[in-house]
Structure 1
Amino acid sequence: MDAEAVSLEGRIFAGVENSSSGEVGQSTIFTYHQDQDIIWAEYSGGSIIRGYLVGTRRGEKLHFRYAHLSTSKETSTGVCDSTVEILDDGRVRLHESWAWESRPETGNSIVEELK
């Protein structure tokens, strides 16, 4: 399967790894959508009550901004660049490099499709 050709529409992901300054964890669930080169997702779970991301896709590269509300009732925003990887079992893994816009930290994370 080609990472550039696989659609993200309707795929459900969960956090696998994250930098210490991140808020996404294994209990955070993302539901992705894709319409041609436009992507968006809703996410929640763990320390996040509700979150949204929106952006674009070029081949295996995603670029988006995100905003969410944490369980401490604080809003956070940031920007993320991701690379799509197809795992041997056909699931999708996203390698993410992100930076908060609402505070100074940056980090890396991985989310994987649930089966």
Structure 2
Amino acid sequence: MSVFNFHNKTFYLVENSKNGKVNADTVFNYQQEDNIVTANYSGGTVKHGKIIATLDNDILHMLYQCVTLENELKAGKATAKISFTKSNKMLLKLNRQWLTGKLEKGVSEYIEK
């Protein structure tokens, strides 16, 4: 059993690379069943997005896709290192890469609400 439980958890952006599409107004709503983690996200620059991931100890292996406010269809992959803050909130540090467009790489950080 994992020490990380994403079921019914909400996350917000802390920091994002310049080439990222989400912003501080984007809300991520996660669900979890066994080691499968999913999320829907929207708000800010994103009309609608989805994440599917597998949980392996303290790592999430993620695939994500979204439609932006400009009707741009984006997709990417990421590896997220999971940790806890001093206030016992989950923190995700992503190394990510777009699978569409210029295939740019970046980093993002998210915190549990």
User: Normalising to structure 2: TM-score of the pair?
Assistant: 0.95
Match of 2:36 in 1: 38
Q: CA separation in 2, counterparts of 1:53 and 1:6? A: 17
Where does 1:25-104 land on structure 2 (aligned, <5 Å)? 25-103=23-101, 104=103
1:14 — aligned with what? 12
Note the aligned Cα RMSD (angstroms). 0.8
Measure the CA separation in 2 of the matches of 1:96 and 1:28: 16
- Match for residue 113 of structure 1? 112
Query: Identity of counterpart residues, as a percentage?
Result: 27
Deviations 1:45-96 (A, max 9, x none): 1100000010200011000110000000110000011011111111111000
Letter in 1 for 2:71: K
1:22-59, Cα deviation, whole Å (9 max, x unpaired): 01111111011111110110000110000001020001
**Unmatched 5+ stretches in structure 2:** none
Report how many aligned residue pairs link the two structures: 111
Moved over 6 A (4+): none
If the length of structure 1 is used for normalisation, what is the TM-score?
Answer: 0.93
- Whole-Å separation in 1 of the counterparts to 2:8 and 2:81: 18
